[in-house]
Amino acid sequence: MNTRNRPGRMISPQPTASRPPYGLGTPAGALQARPRPAVFALNAETMSNPACVTDTGRPCRHPLTNEVENQRLLAHEVSIKNAFDAIVPVLKRIAGLQHEADFIERAQAIAGEQLGFELPVQILADAWVTDLDMPALYGECVMRTLRLMADRAQARHPHQGTDEVVAFFLDSGYHAVDISPCSDGRLKGLLRYILRLPDGAVRSSKAYAGAMFDVDANVKRWVETELMRFREGRPVTADAGTRYLKIGVYHTSSSNPTHEGCAAHGSNEIRAGEKALERLREFRQAIENSFCCGASVDILLIGVDTDTDAIKVHVPDADGEMSLYRTVDNLVLYRQTVNDDENTARLKVYQAILAASAQDGWGGGNGEPHEGMRRLIATLLINNLSQIEYVCSNWGGRYPDIGHAERFINVGDGFEEFQLRNLAYFAHLHTVEEGAPDMDVGIKIFRKLNISHGLPAPVAIHYRYDSRVPGCRERTVERCRRVKSAIEARYADLTQKDLLVCGMTVQDKRPGSSIELVEADAA
């Protein structure tokens, strides 16, 4: 296999001795609060700020928060979500004009001004016969908004900071980091927001319902990574002594843990953590059984409270083993350090990791993890402190939409341009049969969000191809059409009622490639 032209191979992440761990705080700045209406009413107890412990009326300002990045991420979130949320009000306005003589011209003018694109002329032209086909128009608007926002996001250099973070991973002893979160839309912003990691620094980030990733597919990805090291010495040579790190991410809801947790595990936090940990151990065992000595991998389990975006890291012991009861709760750590100076706060982060390693009982383990793992955990915790304050500054410490509020279902490969909480439910699949559990959960979510209100469930089918491989794009386009047909057949009741709208796109694997529309049929 020739891996010399692999996308991203020109990254030069050589570590330097003086480089500090990534994410250890930046100069302070001003972050403007942005109040948002609640999706549903919360009682007085849940409305209280779960993180900020400063005096009444005084805003939270954690000494390790990257406030400049918080401002940038807020602007990104506002622009993307406002674009999707504008669709229904605009369509309501257009619906009231459908019997006017100049309907098409006025509708196009409104859409161009408010949404940034024109509507399908044929749907507008047929409105005088049987009224406006709102489900079809809504689905088309979601798909066009998706492509428009992706094009705009491409210009913002999403891979900025990649070299620095890859160098930090190498400093910590990891040549590749692979993350498998739950496919729940509330974890869609895991990398860019919750963990504050650039897209290109992570070897892979594919979501599965309940974080139940495909072990066989992940072993294949490990093999590809090791082959690249042997063939090219990328990012380091095979004898460098570094390891492959696999991270599993489950989630819960602190406000309503029995109803708004992980749907794939019945909103049972313990079961979600147990199953994710079990899958991580299976992956590690598969590598060791198949490739013998020197093929060990490190594993790490992280829980996320999707109400606050605070993480809970399960600290491995000296043998790499983890317990559901040996953790560092970052929301607690935020409360303990928000009034400290920068040096004291950073010290307490490391002390919290050591304290977790020293506990006994159900959470007891065999000593502390190696230095690289401790450094990595500390950095993830510090990065996440910025996200906790992001939620504090803009939503009073807890998101108003603690439940599902996704705008579309993303099937196939993820849109790297979109890493935003509650924007999309992700179903990673090669065939509908293999990914049926993921798709069923997504459709169940949208039966409540959209279908119960007469709106279709928008399904964005998206696959990436390698332009260097002859015929790869054509085969990828055919896969899109095959998956679309299978989805429509599986949910025939929705298809027949026009309550399922599928859009298809493909994209080259090269960084910065544009998203290409796939027509519904071969013609």
pLDDT at 307: 96
Give yes or no for residue 13 having a pLDDT over 70.
Answer: no
pLDDT for the residue 292: 74
Q: Residues 31-41: pLDDT tens digits?
A: 233 333 333 33
Domain boundaries, the chain: 62-156, 162-395, 404-523
pLDDT at res. 209: 87
Most confident among 23-27, 33-37, 190-194, 392-396 (mean pLDDT): 190-194
Architecture of the domain defined by 62-156: Up-down Bundle (1.20)
Over the stretch 321-377, which tens digit does the pLDDT of each residue have?
999 999 999 999 999 999 899 999 999 999 999 999 999 888 899 999 999 999 999
Q: Which pair of tokens denotes residue 33?
A: 């609060």
pLDDT (mean) for 415-443? 81
Can you tell me the distance from the alpha carbon of 365 to that of 316, in angstroms, rounded to the nearest whole number?
8
CA 517-462-442 angle, 5° bins: 130
pLDDT in tens, 465-493: 999 999 999 999 999 999 999 999 999 99
Dist. CA 134–CA 139, nearest whole Å: 8
The 10s digit of each residue's pLDDT in 76-92 is 999 999 999 999 999 99
Please compute the mean of the pLDDT values over residues 274-290 and round it to a whole number: 95
Who's near 117: CB < 8 A, 6+ residues apart?
111, 144, 145, 148
Q: Of the candidates 516, 459, 449, 496, which has an alpha carbon nearest to the alpha carbon of residue 140? A: 459
What is the model's pLDDT at position 512? 78
Cβ neighbours of 324 (radius 10 Å) = 18
Predicted pLDDT at 294? 63
The pTM score is: 0.86
- The pLDDT assigned to 327 comes to 97
Under a CB-based contact definition with an 8 Å cutoff, are residues 454 and 436 in contact? no
Helix-strand-coil split of the chain, %, nearest 5: 45, 15, 40
Ramachandran bin of 234, using left for φ above 0, alpha for ψ from -120 to 50, beta for the remaining angles:
beta
* Mean pLDDT of all residues belonging to the chain: 86
Confirm whether 163 is a catalytic residue: no
* 130 CB-near residues (< 8 Å, 6+ apart): none
d(CA 251, CA 273) in angstroms, rounded, equals: 8
Q: Which two tokens mark 36? A: 């948002």
pLDDT score for 68: 93
Q: Which of 178, 184, 309, 438 is catalytic?
A: 184
- Tell me what pLDDT residue 49 has: 82
pLDDT of residue 26 exceeding 50, the answer is no
CA distance 395 to 70: 13
Q: Say if residue 136 is exposed, middle or buried (CB neighbours under 10 Å; 0-12, 13-18, 19+).
A: middle
Asked if the model's pLDDT at residue 182 lies above 90, the reply is yes
Helix axes 215-232, 269-291, angle to 10 degrees: 50
Q: How big is the chain by its Cα radius of gyration, in Å?
A: 24
Domains 62-156 and 404-523 share a fold: no
Sheet holding 298-305, edge to edge: 204-205, 174-181, 243-252, 298-305, 310-314, 327-329
- Evaluate the CA torsion angle 513, 517, 518, 523 in order and state its sign: negative
Helix (H) or strand (E) holding 12: none
Instruction: Please determine, looking at this structure, whether the domain spanning 404-523 carries the CATH number 3.30.1330.140.
Output: yes
7, pLDDT greater than 50: no
